[in-house]
Structure 1
Amino acid sequence: MSKAMIGTAVVTGAGTGIGRAAALSLLGAGWTVALLGRRLEPLLETQGLAGSASDHAFPLTADVGDVAGVKAAFAEVQSRFGRLDLLFNNAGRGAPPVEFDEITDEDWLGTVAANLNGAFFCARAAFGIMRRQDPKGGRIINNGSISAHAPRPFSAPYTATKHAITGLTKSIFLDGRAHDIVAGQIDIGNAATPMTERMTKGVPQANGTRMVEERMDVAKVGEAVLHMASLPLEANILTMTIMASKMPFVGRG
């Protein structure tokens, strides 16, 4: 029987929400985790929440949309740990919900920079380490979203980037085959984080109404990421959808 994976991981956007939940799940299972994010203080909070595993959590500041910053961060990971077994590409942002023609250049470019460019920059850096290390190989998990399948009203920048993540995931998986690098995507719907707090007050629906939407405990997302990460490299979950059971996705619109 193949042994479950435990090794060194990078989690982007590890200072809050889904990134924090995933990092804590990995740390609790014995992984060593580089906590990557733009601001040091939230990363230190995540490290503190790891309790006895905090010695295996290492805050690392970088903006994923800055290619030079990403290269420096992953060089630090390689220098400190000698190898990389897992990347959870989680960092991202949304844009204000406005009419399509009112989307600003700044919001479009900023969302693409964080959600798509950032995911690519981090995956490219991780792939390079994984391809050249000995033994070679590793796993990249991209945070897709329910929006990788169906858009919400007034969400073009976010939805476009999340659809693109699906193609990026499949390309990494295909191109990594010769190097024992696997890739998967987790599509998350309505985890209880600050980003979804607005859903407790009601959000626009496809039929023009507004409604309060159910959310789920973000820790369950962390557990799902851990499950994907724990598989031996001979097995891969290409796509996983985890969602609040009563959210309007099946039947949306």
Structure 2
Amino acid sequence: MTQADVTDRTSIALVTGGGTGVGRAIAKALGAAGYTVVISGRRLAVLEEAVEVLSKETGGSFHAIAADVGDPASVRALFDAIAEKFGRLDLLVNNAGITVPGVPLEEVTFEQWSAILAANLTGAFLCTQQAFRLMKAQVPQGGRIINNGSISATTPRPNSAPYTATKHAITGLTKSTALDGRNFDIACGQIDIGNAASDMTQKIASGVVQANGTIAAEPTIDPTHIANAVVYMASLPLNANVLTMTVMATKMPFVGRG
């Protein structure tokens, strides 16, 4: 049973970065589970194409709203549009994110650092902030937030300082959000992903630098497995929470000495 089945109203979900990759898989699974799904991202044409395809594939209800999660005004406009159209938000999936080229730490430009910080961390914070405002005010009060983390937060790849720093910070944001949301029936959890197949991980499947300096291809998994895990996390009543979950390719070089 999903949250959408708990009452006679349809639950409303927002998936940031929902037009492609893992975000699109999550949006599809939520729509198939009965949620009305808003997908956001910076490219409206990509979102509209996703809405059309996902609606046909699942028979679900999908809506596109373009937004830049790193821009406070754009995020406010996104949540204002959701409040005006649907009156509430039951689930926020903070999925939007980018990475930067795998170069030595000293070669990362300030512009690259600023861009990944805005997309991966500031965006998640701004969306969480607006979700809190809406979830506290709506009736019934409360909702759920699920953050897209990464196993890189605790076990980084070589030359990945900006990405690792943002994902490490997401873990802190998840825990603080879970704590601050307690009194308002706002639950927050995090899914740490290991090598879900997407445009971002194409290079991983062909070969990436390992901790010992060698180059090796790594296994990936279908993002549908991530999406199904998110649907499970979202299906729980608000008095239960998956604080952290790791979903990874079984044979990737994560558990062990590297």
User: TM exceeds 0.5?
Assistant: yes
Which residue identity lines up with residue 113 of structure 1 in the other structure? A
Is 41-50 or 103-112 further displaced after alignment? Answer: 41-50
SS at match of 2:3: coil
Question: How big is each residue's C-alpha offset from its partner over 1:14-37, in whole Å with a ceiling of 9 and x where there is no partner?
Answer: 011110000000000100011111
Compute the TM-score of the two structures, normalised by the length of structure 1. Answer: 0.97
* 2:26 is the alignment partner of 1:28: no
SS at match of 1:241: strand
Equivalent residues in 2 for 1:61-80, closer than 5 Å: 61-80=66-85
Which of 87, 95, 108 lines up with 2:113 in the alignment?
A: 108
**TM-score between the two structures when normalised by the length of structure 2:** 0.95
Residue 49 of structure 1, CA deviation: 2.6
What CA distance in whole angstroms lies between the structure 2 residues aligned with 1:130 and 1:195?
Answer: 32
| Residue 130 (str. 1) matches residue 135 (str. 2) | yes
Q: 2:208 aligns with which of 203, 210, 232?
A: 203
List alignment gaps of at least 5 residues for structure 2. 5-10
Asked if structure 2 preserves the Cα contact closer than 8 Å seen for 1:24 and 1:49, the reply is: no
Matches within 5 A, 1:18-167: 18-50=22-54, 51=56, 53=58, 56-167=61-172
| Unaligned stretches of 5+ residues in structure 1 | none
Residue 234 of structure 1: aligned partner: 239
Q: Distance in 1 between matches of 2:190 and 2:28?
A: 19
- Give the C-alpha shift of residue 81 in structure 1: 0.2
The more displaced of 43-52 and 24-33 is 43-52
In 1, Cα distance between the equivalents of 2:251 and 2:181? 36
Identity %: 57
Instruction: Report the residue type matching 2:66 in the other structure.
Output: T
Question: Does the 8 Å CA contact 2:219/2:251 hold for their aligned counterparts?
Answer: yes
Partner of residue 221 from structure 1, selected from 212, 221, 226: 226
* RMSD, matched Cα: 1.1
How much does 1:43 deviate?
Answer: 1.2
Q: Alignment length, in residue pairs?
A: 251
User: Aligned residue for 2:7?
Assistant: none
Q: Displacement of 1:45 after TM fit?
A: 2.4
Identify the residue that residue 10 of structure 1 maps to in structure 2: 14
| Superposition map of 1:175-214 within 5 A | 175-214=180-219
